[in-house]
Structure 1
Amino acid sequence: MQADDLAFDSRHIWHPYTSMRHPLPTYPVVSASGCELTLSDGRRLVDGMSSWWAAIHGYNHPVINQAMNDQISRMSHVMFGGITHPPAVELCRRLVALTPEGLECVFLADSGSVAVEVAIKMALQYWQARGEKRRELLALRRGYHGDTFGAMSACDPDNSMHSLYQGYLPPHRFVDAPQRRFGEIWNEGDDRSLTTLLAAHNSTLAAIILEPIVQGAGGMRFYHPEYLRRTRALCDYYGVLLIADEIATGFGRTGEWFACNHAGITPDILCLGKALTSGALSLSATLTRRHVAETISDGDAGCFMHGPTFMGNPLACAAANASLSLLQDESWRQRVAAIAAQLSAGLMPLADHPRVYDVRVLGAIGVVETKQPVNLAPLQRWFVERGVWIRPFGKLIYLMPPYIISPPALAQLIDAIVDALTQPAHFLS
């Protein structure tokens, strides 16, 4: 890319969470392969982000590329209304087999946020079909579920990037996030806020929505599986639906196929995205139990009232099938376990660093939480100069690398974080 391309980009292209008056620097990527991004000047960066947690098999994977090439020669897209096709049927068959038992009905959409919108609409329409006007959700503080309006309404109203929209979003109820961490001994009082609110307001609640085990963009927090088990039991007791948002955690990121598996529970509605296609194309899926789908279908509308234009896109479904084929021998478990061990060995010593508040690792996720927010632009530039792509936010410097990353490449990412914390404090606000 030429200098005028970057100047145009800075002047006219609005990047995510970036000011148009004072835009953050952008780095021109011209190709990607394996775990590396190649910049226009020839520099290669080891990717520690998996393209926002999606590219679990890395980039330019020949199996996924071949599947998309084969599919595009037949059809890249066809409407899903009144039409079906082999890639969608194969994908839904795989998802029903892989996900927690009891999830039988699959709704395909085109992004994670839309999957959450679909889940919320399913819950609302379910109760409407039953003759009850339950309009509230219960969500966890520190939670994050997406950028569209329904998804934003379920994000923490006070401590999230969407707090400025309060007053425009439908109001919901929020409970304290669980404090007991993954791997610790369960604290019997950790679900008190949830138990108290459910006892008082269960008759108005359509569903509980949460991110199982890992709260992602709301703070990269890992919590105890027992909280999920208690939540499932409470939902059963009070007759409230449970929505599990596994957009970030699905397909092995936490060391299990799905984070719900750590607790051995099945939600009533499950949201999937990101790694579904290994980042090759945008695709999401929302799965639900048959009785939920049939109750909705028995209502006045006679169907579920949602239908995205690109629902069931054949090209994206072909990429997803190829990605799932790469996971089917479950060798990813050993790779994720090895990543976790190396992240722990490399990052945990930082727990005693004077600038660090906490360090935590789960599966192929490593998080260093600093005491002060990071100064993104200079820290990002420093990482690029070190040959790595790491995108911190707030007080979090974290890694979610592709599962195929080699130990030397992962060591390069870890060393860059360790070294950054020994640099002058201008990297912190």
Structure 2
Amino acid sequence: MRETQPKSLTARDQNYLWHPLTQHKTAPPPLGIVRAEGALLFDEKGNTYIDGIASWYTAMYGHANRHIVDAMTRQMQQLDFVMFSGFTHKPAIELAERLLALLPSNQRRIFFNDNGSTAIEAGIKMALQYHHNQGEKRDTLIAFEDGFHGDTFGAMSASGLSVYNGPFEDFLLKVKRIPVPQEDNLADVLSQLKAIIDENACAAFVFEPLVQGAAGMKFHTAKGLDALMAICQKAGVLCIADEIMTGFGKTGKIFASDHLEQQPDMVCLSKALTAGMFPLSITSASEQVFNAFLSDEVHRGFFHAHTYSAHPVGCAAALAGLDLLTSEQIAERRSYIAKAHEKFIDKIPGHPAVENARTMGVILAVDLAVETDRYGNFRDKLYTFFMDRGVNLRPLGNTLYTLPPYVITNEQLQQVYDVMEAALDAVETWQS
């Protein structure tokens, strides 16, 4: 008899799709999501989940935000797409003007890409060619241990998480790594950095300012980062701030770089740039960097492009997102979440399952007193624990974290805390 019932999304998926960050031989089937609104996801069985990580830190103004959807719809009906080589358009110009008003004051030029990895890729290529155009061959990048900057080759080279890079390490760019600066190691890290610069032809320092996201929401000090940047810039090493995760209000300021006294030479943005509505990214640069590409010789220009660069619909989404980011309502919600995180952190330090707890802006992270692999049975057990209770949280090894949409309700946020606290108690049981 022919099958009359349509297969579920999950079942159909299994026949054709290859998912990211997935070992398909052992991973459970993916969950079929049919709708999203505000801070909520809805699956094909009618279950609801609070999106406690804003779908990888993108949907900060909530899913299906009407202001952003309407702006994208209007743009589609006026100018859907035009290539950005030889042409320009109003959404790209307006977005550049508004972003540069918010970015560190030395940023003067906006280069468009299509995702976070390619924003970093462009920044690294700009840095290498910047020195080349001035007659220098600088072939070394400086990056933090355990950093993550994306999965294209340049971005992957700067990243320090071997779980992602392992098979490709023989093919990567030359990178020297240093620990993140803390109060107790700053003198040693500064010494390591000076030695690296003395012994190598260093082109750029690529870093996630103040928070290393994929490493497990690890924090480091603004004072220490300022000191590192000052040494690099004195030596002509360009500083590339990866604000792909930290940007757009997550650390308590519009950009994490706003906590610093030193200004980066380049800034990379994506994710919340378009609130998850459209794949778009930018690499901003100082006028000094831009001017190094000006020449009567054509080949000294930056010959790097993406077909969908400065997509008008993506720019419209980003402009609408900036409306919300700079609104009084979103400022109030960011402040509420930050204070609520602090209250939660104050509750749990004595819990035997907690090794370390910290918060910055809307980022909250709790390290468990458990040894575990980044991807493994324990992490999967935690993930299932959260999803079974209606909250989408994705532990990073032994680190639980939440980075919720700004529009999450007070009740939904409390539910996230309740589930995290329940997980701490469950961890004790699992270990006994």
Q: Which TM-score band (shorter chain)?
A: over 0.9
76-85 vs 322-331, greater mean Cα deviation: 322-331
Name the amino acid aligned to 2:171. Answer: Y
For 2:188 and 2:403, the matched residues in 1 are separated by 28
Residue 313 (structure 1) aligned to one of 306, 311, 314 = 311
Q: Taking structure 2 as the reference length, what is the TM-score of the superposition?
A: 0.92
- Aligned pairs for 1:294-333 (under 5 A) are 294-298=291-295, 301-329=299-327, 331-333=329-331
For 2:299 and 2:68, the matched residues in 1 are separated by 39
Q: Taking structure 1 as the reference length, what is the TM-score of the superposition?
A: 0.93
Matching of residue 48 in structure 1 with residue 48 in structure 2: no
Partner of 1:207: 204
Kept after mapping to 1: 8 A contact 2:247/2:269: yes
Partner of 1:405: 408
Secondary structure in 2 aligned to 1:423? helix
Secondary structure in 2 aligned to 1:134? coil
For 1:84 and 1:427, the matched residues in 2 are separated by 58
Matching of residue 388 in structure 1 with residue 391 in structure 2: yes
Taking structure 1 as reference, are residues 333 and 41 closer, same or farther at Cα in structure 2, changes over 3 Å only? Answer: same
Name the amino acid aligned to 1:327. Answer: L
Matching of residue 174 in structure 1 with residue 172 in structure 2: no
For 1:3 and 1:386, the matched residues in 2 are separated by 25
Residue 27 (structure 2) aligned to one of 23, 34, 39 = 23
Name the amino acid aligned to 1:259. Answer: A
Cα displacement string for residues 261-309 of structure 1 (whole angstroms, at most 9, x for unaligned residues):
1113311111011000111111101000112111123366131010100
Partner of 1:129: 133
Taking structure 1 as reference, are residues 378 and 195 closer, same or farther at Cα in structure 2, changes over 3 Å only? Answer: closer
Residue 416 (structure 1) aligned to one of 415, 419, 430 = 419
Cα displacement string for residues 360-392 of structure 1 (whole angstroms, at most 9, x for unaligned residues):
111111111122336233332322221211111
Name the count of aligned residue pairs. Answer: 422
For 2:409 and 2:169, the matched residues in 1 are separated by 44
Secondary structure in 2 aligned to 1:296? coil
Kept after mapping to 1: 8 A contact 2:243/2:256: yes
Kept after mapping to 2: 8 A contact 1:110/1:284: yes
Shift of 1:143: 0.8
Taking structure 1 as reference, are residues 231 and 40 closer, same or farther at Cα in structure 2, changes over 3 Å only? Answer: same
For 1:166 and 1:417, the matched residues in 2 are separated by 36
For 1:30 and 1:188, the matched residues in 2 are separated by 49
Kept after mapping to 2: 8 A contact 1:191/1:230: no
- Aligned pairs for 1:41-190 (under 5 A) are 41-156=45-160, 159-180=162-183, 188-189=186-187
Gap regions ≥5 residues in structure 1 = 181-185
Kept after mapping to 2: 8 A contact 1:10/1:23: no
Kept after mapping to 1: 8 A contact 2:110/2:283: yes
Residue 366 (structure 2) aligned to one of 346, 364, 368 = 368
Shift of 1:248: 0.4
Name the amino acid aligned to 1:419. Answer: A
Matching of residue 289 in structure 1 with residue 289 in structure 2: no
Partner of 2:233: 236
Name the amino acid aligned to 1:139. Answer: A
Residue 273 (structure 1) aligned to one of 270, 273, 277 = 270
Taking structure 1 as reference, are residues 384 and 428 closer, same or farther at Cα in structure 2, changes over 3 Å only? Answer: farther
Secondary structure in 2 aligned to 1:189? helix
Secondary structure in 2 aligned to 1:146? coil
Could you tell me the percent identity over the aligned residues? 38
Kept after mapping to 2: 8 A contact 1:276/1:283: yes
For 1:108 and 1:294, the matched residues in 2 are separated by 17
Secondary structure in 2 aligned to 1:105? strand
Cα RMSD over matched residues? Answer: 2.1
Shift of 1:21: 1.4
For 2:249 and 2:353, the matched residues in 1 are separated by 31
